[in-house]
Each structure stands twice: as C-alpha cells, then as structure tokens.
Structure 1
Amino acid sequence: MKEIRGNVIVGQSGGPTAVINSSLVGVYKTAKDRGAKIVYGMLHGIQGLLENRVVDLSEHIKSDLDIELLKRTPSSYLGSCRYKLPEIHEDQEIYRKIFKILEDMEIEYFFYIGGNDSMDTIKKLSDYSILNGSRIRFMGVPKTIDNDLAATDHTPGYGSAAKYIGSITKEVIRDGLVYDQQNVTLIEIMGRNAGWLTGAAALAKCEDCEGPDMIFLPEIAFDIEEFMKKVAELHKRKKSVVAAISEGIRVEDGRYVCELTDNVDYVDAFGHRQLTGAARYLAGRIARETGCKTRAIEFSSLQRCASHMVSRVDITEAYQVGGAAVKAAFEGETGKMVILKRISDDPYICVTDIYDVHKIANIEKKVPREWINEAGDYVTEEFISYIRPLIQAELTPIMADGLPRHLYCKDHTK
C-alpha cells in the first residue's frame, strides 16, 4: 500500500534551460507516485511564494500527453525569479512569513530547481528550518546551462545548450564561406566567469567542418592586440575567420570587453551585471582597422530555449534529478542538492547522488586550465571528450500544424 505523504511545493529560479521542465515533471510525477497529497507550484519562485502565488499542479498536468509536452517545453513553466533572500540574522521577518505560508499550506517538502543562486536559497531556508525546529525538508534540484555548479559532474540544461551551440556554430561557419571575400565572424556565447558554453563551439570541428578558428573563455585574460594579430595571420591563408568568444571575456586589468562599448549597465539582485556587446566591440574594431567585412552574432537566449534540439541524455537526466530529489527528501534528507556522478565515458554511465548544499551554494566551477590550450585560444581534446556524451541522441518534438507544441501556464502571466 502506498504511504500517504504531506504536501509538496516546487519552484523554478534563475535563467531557464531547454530541459528545466523535465525536472519539474520528475518532481511532480515522483512525488505523486510516492503518495504526496498535493504538489503545488510556486509562480515565479520564492518571490511568487511571498505573494501567495501558487497553483495545484494536478490542475495543469492532467494526462500522459501533458507530461510529454511539458518535458519538451522550453523556459520555466511556472515562471522564474532572481530574488535574493537576506541573511537570516539580517531579516528574520521574511523567513517567518515564508514559513507561515508553508505551514498554512501544510507543506512538508520543498524543492527548488535552479543554479548557484537558487542553492543559496535552499541553504538559507534549510538553516532557518533547523534553527526553528521545522519538519519541512528542503532539497535543491540542479539546473543551469552555464554548467558552473560545484560538486556535480555537469548540470541538466548544459548538454542541450552545448548541442545547440555546436550545431549552430557549424551552420555559421558554412555561411561564412558563401562569398569570395575576406570576412570575420564573431560568435558571442553566454558565460560570465566560466567558459563551459563557449568551449562547446569546438564540437563543430568534425569531418565535415573545420570548426571555429579560435575560442576564447573568461578563464584566460583576453589580449585584444594579440587577437588582432591572430586574425591577420589567419587571413593570410584563408578568407573566412570564425572566432567564438564568451560574453564574459576580460582584459588584463579585469574589465569586461563588453564594458569597452556602450552596452546597457543592468545589475540584478545578486549583483550580476548584464553582459552583452563584446562581439560587437571586436567586430567594430576589426572593421575600422582593416576594412574587412565583419559580423557579430550573439546566441543570447536562443542557446537556452532551443527545445527543438534537446539532447535525449540531457532531458533524461533532468527528469532523473527531479525524481532523485523527491526520493531523498521523502527518506529524510534536507539541505542537500542532487548531483550527477559520471562512472564511465564509454559507455557513458552517470548516476545521481546527494551533496551538502552548503558546499555548493555561491561556488563557481570553472573550466580547468589544463582543458584550455597553452595559447589560451582553444579547448583541448579532454574538454571535448567530457562534453560529447552529454549531447547524444534526440527527443523529437510533438508537432502541431508544422510547429513544436508546448504546454503553456497562463497563470504566471497574470
């Protein structure tokens, strides 16, 4: 006989991914299968919870078709937020409010799907829970295309973003060969302090594509003058030059390259400055100094919402970490995050485990220096071997009238 559990609540936070809703489905279905009475969803994360904006997910996920559609739906179905909880000693009133809401809803299990900042939320809530004798269990479910969460081998969302980046980079390289003239294409890829996404451009290098000529990650200081010399050298032997750069590349004095242009200076609640414009700046400089045709292409949010090109490995693991979080919480764990542990590359085998969220929150995992070549303008074979298993296989979209069909939550737009 299935044990009857208390109520569950789940939220999504931070930047979305193409597979974040697969984790939501993993939490929902596993919790219902294991006896949860009601599985609530927070609309716009912890910020929405503070405003009592919640939904009963059983009213939204009503069939197996809904489950399959939701797995294939990009962005955060419940809506997201970038809301930073204060330190417990700074403002206990906000914690009392959150816990009063949770107690009124008879919540016993709290799940938060997100990245570094979201794990900071889980850390603070679980700490307050312990300090005040609450029975609520708090678990983090990993998510981020940036792949910069500590402890886990990789994060759900990264594999699909990498698959998109590798695929579109191949197409951009092919397009650069159309005209019989010198040109430079600069591809700007997300990545503030860690170059996991930008390094994925190297996947374009294969038997039918020579790949990008240069790849620059934020882990290595960017020398603009040296970059200009490399472009000139490449043009001596080829017409089309393609370079992939991280949005977060910095010059030696620590300034972002994008700060050298007139980009909008937006800073979120966690102190993260919006980065954009590095490719435009470099393309403009090349055009001015050489007269060469240039293009700046920003993949921007496209790399995190391309659900038509998800990796089956990625979407499966996203579902698994959601389910593993429920299993751990129902067995009494709290203040933990589910991690992925790679057992083997060939064949690729990866399992789930749990890890203390205090050792994960606010810690960025960067690309190892040995996975970047000595010149600092490309990644090594070790990097490519690490990433390749994560992009394998596909999950066909469910099509309607020639376009992918998604599951849409109207509530979070009200």
Structure 2
Amino acid sequence: MGKNAIVGQSGGPTSVINASLAGVFESCKSRGADIVYGMCNGVAGLLEERVVDLSPLLTDDLDIELLKRTPSSFLGSCRYKLPDWHTDEAVYKKLFAILEKLDIGCFFYIGGNDSMDTIGKLAEYGECIQSDIRFMGVPKTIDNDLMVTDHTPGYGSAAKYIGVVMKEIIRDATVYGTKYVTVVEIMGRNAGWLTAAAALAKSDDCEGVDMICLPEVPFHVEHFIEKVRVMQEKKPSIVIAVSEGVKLEDGRYVCELADDVHAVDAFGHKALTGTARYLANVVARNLDTKTRCIELSTLQRCAGHLTSRTDITEAYQVGGAAVKAAFEGVTGQMVALKRISNSPYQCTTELHPISEVANLEKKVPLSWMNEDHTQMTEDFLAYARPLIQAELTPLYIAGLPHHIYMKPQK
C-alpha cells in the first residue's frame, strides 16, 4: 500500500464539511501517513494534478480549530461525473496513474450522493485492476438524503439556521397586523428534510410557521391558494415554508411554471429557483393580500456563525472513522451515523457498502407529517432537535468571524 493519503471535497458545501477534512487529516497523520494531499476542486482538480500537501497549510492546533469553524469547502469543490469505466477507461487510467505517482494508499472523498457514486466507481475499477488503494466515502450534505445513515453531517447546522431564521421572520411578519403572506423558499430537490426543519421554530415563544410544503407531497397550486385563504380568515399574517423542489402531480417542478431559465449540471440536476417568487405572485393575484418571497439560498449551507456543536463533532468523527477503516484494509464503503437513543442523544458510526448509498435518496417519511401534510409531527421534532444542540462559537476578530482559507496555489 502507498505511504500517502489524499482527500477531496465534492458537491455543495456545508458549514461543517471542513470539520470532516480536519478529521481525515489528523487521523491520517496520527496513523503514520507520510503526506496527506488535498485535491483542489475534487476529482476534477485531481485529473489536472492540482493537489496540495496539507501539512504546510495546517500547521498547528489553531489552524485545525479555525478549519472546523470555517464554512464551505477549504479545498474547493466540483460537480464532476465520472463516466462508466466499462465504456470509457481512459479517465480511470489517468487517475490511477496520478495516484500511483503520488504514492497514494488511501483515498477519501467527502460528499453526498454524487460523490458516493464517484467512490463506488473508483473502488470497483481499483478492484478490477487489483489496485491496493482503499477508497472511502465520508458523508456530507445539508439535504440529509443519503441512505443508510441516520442523518448526514451538515444537516444539523442547516436545520439550526432554518429554525433560527424562521423564528425571526415570523416575528417580523406580524408587526403590522395587516394581511400579509410570506413564502420562504428552502433548499431540497427531492427530499424535504430542510424544509421540515422550519417546524423547529415553533416553541413557547413562537407560534411557528403556518404551512410546510415538502417535495414528497404532490403540489396543487389551487389547493395552496385555498389553504392560504382559509388561514387568513383566522389570522392576517401567514408564513409558509416551501421546498424549492415541490412538484406538480405530472412531475414538473413548481418553479418551472415561472419564466426563469433553469440550467442543468453535470449530473443532470436542474437548477431550482423561483418557487417562492412564483407562489407569492400567484397568491397576490388571487387573494386580497400583500405578499413577500424570501429565498434562504446558499445562506443555509454557509452560515458558520450558527453551526451546531453536535454537527461539527459528528462531522469530525466520520472523517476519523473513515481513516480508521481504510488503514484497517476497508475499501468501497461509506461511514454512516447510527443513532442509539434520542434522550439522552447518543450516536455512533458504522460502515456500509457504497452500493447501498450511491444514486439513491432518503425521503422524509409522510408518517412524520400531519393528515393534511401541512405540518411536521412530534416524531420529526424528536428526530431533529438533538442535531441542532449547542454551539461552537466562531473566533471573532474586529467584530467578525475569522476563517482559514487556501490561497491560490502555484
């Protein structure tokens, strides 16, 4: 086995993805890796041989602490889809030649569904050519839609941000006492875990959101308007949390009813935006009320000042667990989180074959919604609340959080 290790970050960032990077780096060094390389912009950068030795960049405990508390991807990211090696082997030959030149023994990829697809393909090709490189997946996604894991690092902090912001929006939306409908668009293509987190806002000091719309439930525009009308007969100010990925019964995204242009990425995913704007306009045209649309957008995944300590801790742990497994000879697996109990909250790690994760999606159980699919039940809240607990305050300098970032490499 090679003496060195390499790690990359892929897909959409989170506020704790760098904690996983810190976990991989420190565990690799403690287990004797000579060099821990970082891929600049994931596999796409590796194909261009853009790699860095992480040791000169992370020199002491303060650097590691800053890395844990810095949002987004320290190494940069990519959305690069590896071809099927049975039909296009050239890319794989190039990648494995680069890994051999770097004397790589362990390869770690921090990401979501598409990143696990990459790990699966590399592990399968490595087995075919009898390579001794170990390939391990480290879970990450605010979408919380990875199979086999109880939840994904990144989700807890995004859920915490959504819960906090929804409380603040609700307070602001009720100041005038006049008719007002506020539609808040929350990320989530096919799984509504993030939008469901809006339910966390309800507490003894907040009445909570009035309606939650998940992509798991077919959306009817006319029914939506009627529900808003009925709600406003009881209270003038309505706040609605809607997933960007809500779909009509025919499979079209609601945002496609607007005139926005929706680009497609390397994995065929259509960029979703404009759902809240479209629905706010529809309500304004059909009801006697003012409306407002709010897109939380990338703030959900980069709000480092509102990270959950639980989330950062678990993100670091899954990185370390992946290294432990790889150094013990495991390959083609992803580290998953296994919940032992809610109260007190206890969670451990376990391993699952990549084939159980890649290109699959975990949806919100409809049993965790009320009968008319407008609110989350106590089952969901019991699941989500432990994930948002405690804080890891940023290091503030001159009144602003201090981050660590990788300066452009020659």
In the TM superposition, residue 366 of structure 1 has moved relative to its aligned partner by: 0.4
Displacement of 1:357 in angstroms is: 0.5
1:281-319: CA deviation from partner (whole Å, max 9, x where unpaired): 010011122241101000000000001000000000000
> Counterparts of 2:15 and 2:60 in 1: how far apart (Å)?
21
* Aligned position for 1:110: 107
Q: Which of the residues 197, 202, 205 maps onto 2:202?
A: 205
Maintained 8 Å contact 2:218/2:248: yes
Q: Is 1:141 the counterpart of 2:138 in the alignment?
A: yes
- The answer for the alignment partner of 2:43 in structure 1 is 46
* SS of residue matched to 2:123: helix
For residues 37-79 of structure 1, what are the alpha-carbon distances to aligned partners after superposition, in whole Å with 9 as ceiling and x for unaligned?
A: 0000000000000000000000110111100000000000000
Which whole-Å CA distance do the structure 2 matches of 1:354 and 1:129 have between them? 19
Which among 312, 315, 325 is matched to residue 312 of structure 2? 315
Matches within 5 A, 1:84-95: 84-95=81-92
Q: Confirm or deny that 1:177 pairs with 2:177.
A: no
Letter in structure 2 aligned against 1:57: L
1:26 match: 23
8 A Cα contact 2:112 2:141, kept in partner: yes
Q: Deviations over 1:136-157 (max 9, x none)?
A: 0000000000000000000000
Corresponding residue for 1:129?
Answer: 126
Deviation at 1:224, TM superposition (A): 1.0
With 56-65 and 284-293 compared, the bigger mean Cα shift is at 284-293
Report the AA paired with residue 98 of structure 2.
I
Q: Which runs of 4+ in 1 moved over 6 A?
A: none
Q: Tell me the residue number matched to 1:7.
A: 4
Aligned to 1:335: 332
Give the distance between the partners of 1:145 and 1:227, measured in 2 at CA: 27
Q: Which residue of 1 aligns with 2:193?
A: 196
Quick check: 1:396 aligned with 2:409? no
CA RMSD of aligned residues (A): 1.0
Distance 1:174 1:331 in 2: 52
Note if contact 2:225-2:286 (Cα within 8 Å) is conserved in structure 1. no
Q: When the two structures are superposed, what TM-score results if normalisation uses the length of structure 2?
A: 0.99
- Structure 2 CA distance for aligned equivalents of residues 180 and 142 of structure 1: 45
Residues 4-403 of structure 1: pairs in structure 2 closer than 5 A: 6-403=3-400
CA contact (8 A) 1:5 1:36 kept: no
Q: Please say if residues 5 and 37 of structure 1, whose CA atoms lie closer than 8 Å, have aligned partners that are also in contact.
A: no
**TM-score of the pair, normalised by structure 1:** 0.98
Q: For 1:308 and 1:80, how far apart are their aligned partners in 2?
A: 21
CA distance in 2 between counterparts of 1:212 and 1:98 reads: 49
Q: Which runs of 5+ in 2 are unaligned?
A: none
- Alpha-carbon distance between aligned partners in 2 of 1:318 and 1:146, rounded to the nearest angstrom: 15
User: What's the secondary structure of 1:241's corresponding residue?
Assistant: strand
Aligned mates of 2:399, 2:312 — CA distance in 1: 23
Cα deviation for residue 240 of structure 1 reads 0.6
**Structure-1 separation of matches of 2:248 and 2:370:** 18
C-alpha displacement at 1:338, in angstroms? 0.3
One-letter identity of the residue aligned with 1:84: K
Deviation for aligned residue 1:335: 0.1
Query: 1: CA distance between counterparts of 2:69 and 2:265?
Result: 28
Q: Offset at 1:411?
A: 2.5
2-side partners of 1:339 and 1:290: how far apart? 47
Q: Is the 8 A contact 1:167 1:204 kept in 2?
A: yes
Q: What do residues 333-360 of structure 1 show as CA deviations (whole Å, max 9, x unaligned)?
A: 0000000000010000000111101111
CA distance in 2, matches of 1:410, 1:13: 19
Number of aligned residue pairs: 410
The letter for the 2-side match of 1:356 is P
Aligned-pair distance for 1:5?
7.3
Distance 1:238 1:163 in 2: 27
1:375 and 1:127 mapped to 2: Cα distance? 45
What secondary structure, in the 3-state scheme, does the structure 2 residue paired with 1:58 have? coil
Report if aligned partners of 1:5, 1:35 keep a CA contact under 8 Å in 2: no
| CA apart distance, 1:180 | 2.5
Distance 1:49 1:225 in 2: 49
